[in-house]
Chain A
Amino acid sequence: MALTALIADDEAPLREQLRTRLLEAWPELRIVAEASNGAEAVALANQHHPDIVFLDIRMPGMGGIDAARQLYDRCHIVFATAYDQYALDAFEQGAIDYLLKPVTPARLQTTCERLRKRLAGVQPAPQDIGAQLAELGALLKGSGVGAKPNYLRWIQAQVGGSLRMVSTREILFFQADDKYTCVQTATTQLLIRKTLKELADELDPDEFWRIHRSTLVRVDAIEEVTRDARGRQMVRLRGFAELLEVSRNHGYLFQQM
């Protein structure tokens, strides 16, 4: 019985390219289905049971890595990617097959050769694919570095009829104001319904510091901390005239190192 394959890529011309190249490199291989995203690839693979699945890494909805995690115990996975520094590094170290787009006939020939041997049982299939895929997935999601837990990065504020989005990087400080909280940026001031307590829980504690019962300040915006005539610590923010008071029980934040 002829071997079968599935191709998944969100860009139609690149699916076509791989199909024609495969036809030249491995004429007996029958391409049973083509998918344009990860979810479609999984569904079609369940339907057609291909021996080999070619997966693009970046696809809308479910990407190639997530699709592979559902399929790797049933078929051989070959990734295709145009450029992805992190993924390429991981592939070089691991044993997962991959192709670089645009696919060259020579490179495809080598890959097909290896697949033939594996499917004939001459060469063992790579081990621990599941673990490698999990690692790869985490690597790509966090872009490799400092993937922080889910802290709030955008504040939503109703301005007139529209919903304004304010990035936390733009904010100088939050100040409790009765039932509302005032959001101060370099250019505007907005009111939101969230309380300071709720914000303090959701925001990154390394990005915003509580300096007073009613003030939450962005650490990166602080220019200097001084003392006024009464000995209170005052925070000066970059590009903002008004000083913010540090309450006594938060003074430890700015102790001399």
Chain B
Amino acid sequence: MAATTINRALDFVREAVAEASALWWGFFDWLALVEWRQLYVTWFLVLVFGVFFQLTEPAIWFVLISFGVKVLAGGKRRAELTAKEESSKAKVATLERRLMEAQMATLQAQVEPHFLFNTLALIGQLIETDPKEAARVHAHLIEYLRSSLPQMRANGGGMMGTLGKQVELSRAYLAIMQARMKERLAVRFEVPDFLGSAPFPPMMLQTLIENAIKHGLEPKVAGGTITVRGHVNEATLHVDVCDDGIGIDLHADEGVGLANIRERLALLYGKDAELVIELPPGGGACASIRLPYRMTEFD
């Protein structure tokens, strides 16, 4: 019997202490974060209250203690609280980033059905008229699909590959397009071998090349040339895709492809990478991906 009474009393004391400490820390946090201006107003009210109810002494104590606490511990506590907030913000940012990565993975490769069906139609025809050429286009198509279908990509559509790999993919794609467009499409690659091992995100070069063909060269009756150029300027890797097609319609939306590249660059490199679109004086259009390049990278 006595034991339960003591236990009950102990529980009550424990609760009261917990409550008081929560109140004290709540007050402490408020004090640490409150603006000085607001604090002056509070003091003034407390003093008026104290004088009115004959409690001047406690009121003065309150002012003195809160002043002391604010001056001595306020800064540290405030820093602690902001740090806590920052770290939870950072956690949210990490989650957002993961979500973005997942979204990007689904967005980054979209094999255009139109391209696929046209190429298959071409292969079907070539089997009858030029089986050797059919086999060649067929092999290029397999190579293209292997690296552009997300589910076929090694490491589940990872965030980074090499520039060399991307150039290979683009060569396969352009070889198919040349078989289809014949003399209407000329291709030039100016990517030095040493850049082959440079890290480069997948499917960006491919998107630029598809854009150049679709919007620049296919609508042009005479066709033209696509030039893929890679070079290092100071510590920046430039990968350019230029065409001498019909240029850019100022009233046409840029499309998901370019917006997607820009978002992925921002995600991977922040403000250190950019996608630059220019109209060269000679006509056509140039798209350039620029990202940080480090000399000592071996992957």
Contact = CB atoms under 8 A, between A and B. Distances in A.
Contact of B220 (A16, A60, A164): A60
A152 interface: yes
Nearest to A185: B274
Interface residues of A, number: 38
A226 interface: no
Contact of B221 (A12, A61, A84, A167): A61
B180 interface: yes
A153 interface: yes
Contact of A17 (B125, B179, B220, B223): B125
Given A102-B125, A163-B279, A60 B221 contact: yes
Contacts of A3: none
A153 B251 contact: yes
Interface stretch (B113-121, B141-149, B164-172): B113-121
Main secondary structure of the interface of B (DSSP, over half): helix
Interface in B116-133: 116-118, 120-122, 124-126, 128-129
B221 A162 contact: no
Contacts of A166: 277
A219 interface: no
A153 B182 contact: no
Contacts of A239: 266
B279 A165 contact: yes
Give the interface size class of chain B.
Answer: 35 or more
A187 B271 contact: yes
Contacts of B223: 60
B218 interface: yes
Most chain A C-beta atoms within 10 Å of own C-beta, residue among B118, B223, B258, B259: B118
A163 B278 contact: yes
A175 interface: no
Contacts of B262: 170
A165 B129 contact: no
A153 B215 CA distance: 15
A13 interface: yes
A153 B252 contact: yes
A152 B250 contact: yes
Interface in A89-107: 101-102
Nearest to B258: A167
A249 interface: no
B277 A165 contact: yes
Contacts of B278: 162-165
A37 B118 contact: no
A58 B266 CA distance: 35
B73 interface: no
Interface string A61-85: 1000000000000000000001111
B276 interface: yes
B241 to A, nearest CB: 14
Contacts of A162: 278-281
Contacts of B276: 164
A167 B117 contact: no
Contacts of B221: 37, 39, 60-61
13 contacts: A61-B220, A61-B221, A82-B117, A83-B114, A83-B116, A84-B114, A101-B117, A102-B125, A156-B250, A162-B279, A165-B279, A166-B277, A169-B259
Given A61-B219, A82-B117, 19 more contacts: A11-B118, A11-B182, A13-B129, A13-B180, A58-B114, A60-B184, A60-B219, A60-B221, A83-B117, A101-B121, A153-B250, A154-B251, A154-B254, A156-B279, A165-B285, A167-B254, A167-B277, A187-B271, A239-B266
Identify the 3 closest CB pairs spanning chains A and B, nearest first.
Answer: A102-B121, A167-B254, A17-B125
